[in-house]
Amino acid sequence: MITPLDVTDRTLAERLLTIQHAAYAVEAELIGFDGIPPLREDLDGLMSSTEHWLGRYDGNTLVGAVAYETSADTVEIDRLIVDPAHARRGHGRALLDHLDRIEPRAVSLVSTGSANIPAVNLYTSRGYATVGEVEVAPGIYITQFRRAS
């Protein structure tokens, strides 16, 4: 089940933050860099997020989420997180598929650590093309992706 999330709900935000920290710890290991901002975010920061959030549940357990922003013709994916205990089961893809259905836009943008091969493969398999790469720390690159419909 996928549903909108209210990040001002403290209990929900606590679970979401746990997933976020675990997911970004995996990415930090993959890319060799632990300076990823969501990895350092605290509960107050998450609860004050102005992004739209969707959560994926396995039964009653929140296992993943996507945070995004929209404009008239663009959806920008800010975060896609899956609890590592539930990874590689299609939860991230399901969240992205659901987002495409409820927020259809001409352009979709996302970025990830260039060395995060599972994420890079997910985005490219969904039709995203690389549009740039940014060095965020010495030797650490973020790949920017764009998909047009």
CATH of the domain at 58: 3.40.630.30
pLDDT grade, residue 111 (50/70/90)?
A: very high
Residue 116 maps to a domain: no
Residue 86 inside a domain? The answer is yes
Give a yes or no: residue 141 inside a domain.
Answer: no
Q: Is residue 98 part of a domain?
A: yes
Tell me whether residue 121 is in a domain: no
Asked if residue 32 has pLDDT above 90, the reply is no
Residue 54 domain flag? yes
Note whether residue 103 is domain-resident. yes
pLDDT one-digit tens code per residue, 39-94 = 899 999 999 999 999 999 999 999 999 999 999 999 999 999 999 999 888 899 99
Percentage above 70 pLDDT, the chain: 100
- Please report how the helices 10-31 and 117-125 are oriented relative to each other, as an axis angle in degrees rounded to 10: 100
What pLDDT score was predicted for residue 39? 87
Number of independent structural domains in the chain: 1
For residue 13, give every residue at least 6 positions away whose Cβ sits within 8 Å of its Cβ, in sequence order, or none.
7, 43, 46, 47
> What does the mean pLDDT of the chain come to?
94
> What domain range is 25 assigned to?
2-109
Q: Is residue 139 assigned to a domain?
A: no
pLDDT at 35: 85
